[in-house]
Amino acid sequence: MNRSEILASIIKSQMKPAEFFPTFSPGDTLDIHYKIIEGEKERTQIFQGVLLSDTGAGVHRMLRIRRIIANEGVERTFPAHNPRLVKIEVVRRGDSRRAKLFYLRERFGKSRRLRDQRRGLKHVAGQTATGRESGG
Amino acid sequence: MAQAIIGRKIGMTRFFLEGGKNIPVTVIQAGPCIVTQIKTIATDGYAAVQLGFEDVKPRNSTMAVIGHDIKAGTAPKRIHKELRCKDDAEAGVFTVGATVDASILAGVGYVDVVGISKGKGFQGVMKKFGFKGLTATHGTERKHRSPGSIGSHGTDRGHGAKIKKGKRMAGQMGDDQVTARSLDVVKIDAENNVILVKGAVPGATNGILVIRAATRLYKRKAKKLVKA
């Protein structure tokens, strides 16, 4: 192995397989299943919120999730390749025109929500571009 | 020198420990090295082991180096470094021509990494030594980043009113030998001769490093070892 291959192999050993990540983009509401240690025990906690930004390449990838807990905005940044992050689920597709959705922090009420994304869904496997699902 | 090796900095990345803790690591190609010479107190006045690292094409080397490395029974090496030993006995553990690879650091918790820092060129005292400079206002003109006075009153007597030796002034910064002490060893891959060390090490990517078992630990780390 030459030197760049060594570095690449170490980075790869730290990364999750591509299949781990469902297709999602900023604006989507995600369920992040995250293992936490409570005293002796280990359990999985779900953090559900809107994906504000998805930055960093390779092993440095970070997912910034915002949710509202008791009327208070809470943001968490998850290292996407951390072994404690065990599962990501897409709950809802949000229609967003930009990659960083920090403007949502200043929004309240209805305007805080993004429109359900139902157009141009070719990239989402298993979803069709027709019809609106209820809720969202 | 019982536990030391020559290496090359490959780069930095992120590493997840068991339990998900996320730390920055430097990846170092450590060895394989060949022992090219052993110096003894009797013949050289001090004890040391000389290691050769990385093959070089003979035409890019010199006859002196080629001849020296042939004595150790190896192809010419690009880098040679001498690592001092306490006495002949410590140096005698090694034999000329033997291979030293990353497994020499097996079981070592903390290492010192010696390298040549990145050159910063000619720099002023503010960047080089963290001087505060002069005030931005109150009539200061054209010398906001100057060091101020460099001596007076016979320069504290005894210096013949000359500037003290070692007075910190502007000049070349970086491109110096720097030792990063007691860095945590994260992982040793003896098969590929790769060592992962927590945090940064001196110098640019592809720079030559010497990695040795830490000679002295910071108090906090020493305490941790005692506990473990």
Three-class SS state of A7: helix
Among chain B residues, CA nearest to A56: B14
What share of chain A has pLDDT > 90, as a percent? 20
- A-chain CB neighbours of B196 within 8 Å are 10
Q: In chain A, which among 67-126 make CB contacts under 8 A with chain B?
A: 79, 81-84
Structure token pair of residue A121? 């869904």
A62 touches chain B (CB under 8 A): no
What is the ipTM metric for this complex? 0.73
Among chain A residues, CA nearest to B206: A3
Residue B152 CB partners (closer than 8 Å, separation 6+): B161
Q: What is the mean pLDDT of chain A?
A: 80
Could you give the domains of chain B? Answer: 4-120+176-227 (3.30.160.810), 121-173 (no CATH)
Say if residue B179's pLDDT is above 80: yes
- B-chain CB neighbours of A41 within 8 Å are none
Q: Which of A1, A7, A55 to mutate to test the interface with B (most CBs of B within 10 A)?
A: A7
In tens, the pLDDT along A24-45 reads 888 888 889 998 887 788 888 8
Among chain A residues, CA nearest to B188: A10
Cα angle for residues B207, B212, B214 (degrees, 5° grid): 125
pLDDT value of residue B94: 85
Question: Rounded to an integer, what distance in angstroms lies between the CA atom of residue B26 and that of residue B201?
Answer: 7
In tens, the pLDDT along B88-138 reads 777 778 888 888 888 888 888 899 999 999 999 999 999 999 999 999 999
* Higher local confidence (pLDDT), B172 or A38: B172
Question: Averaged over A86-110, what is the pLDDT?
Answer: 83
Say if residue A128's pLDDT is above 80: no
Nearest by CB to B20, from A1, A6, A84: name it: A84
Q: What is the mean pLDDT of chain B?
A: 88
A55 touches chain B (CB under 8 A): no
Q: Which of B15, B16, B17 to mutate to test the interface with A (most CBs of A within 10 A)?
A: B16
Say if residue B55's pLDDT is above 80: yes
Say if residue A124's pLDDT is above 60: no
Question: Averaged over B34-45, what is the pLDDT?
Answer: 89
DSSP run (H or E) holding A87: strand A85-92
**Taking CB atoms and an 8 Å limit, are B14 and A59 in contact across chains?**
yes
Say if residue B176's pLDDT is above 50: yes
Question: Rounded to an integer, what distance in angstroms lies between the CA atom of residue B175 and that of residue A129?
Answer: 60
A44 touches chain B (CB under 8 A): no
Question: Averaged over B58-66, what is the pLDDT?
Answer: 91
Nearest C-alpha of chain B: how many angstroms from A85? 9
Nearest by CB to B194, from A6, A11, A14: name it: A6
* Higher local confidence (pLDDT), A94 or A113: A94
Structure token pair of residue A2? 């030459």
- B-chain CB neighbours of A10 within 8 Å are 13, 15, 27, 194, 196
Say if residue B80's pLDDT is above 90: yes
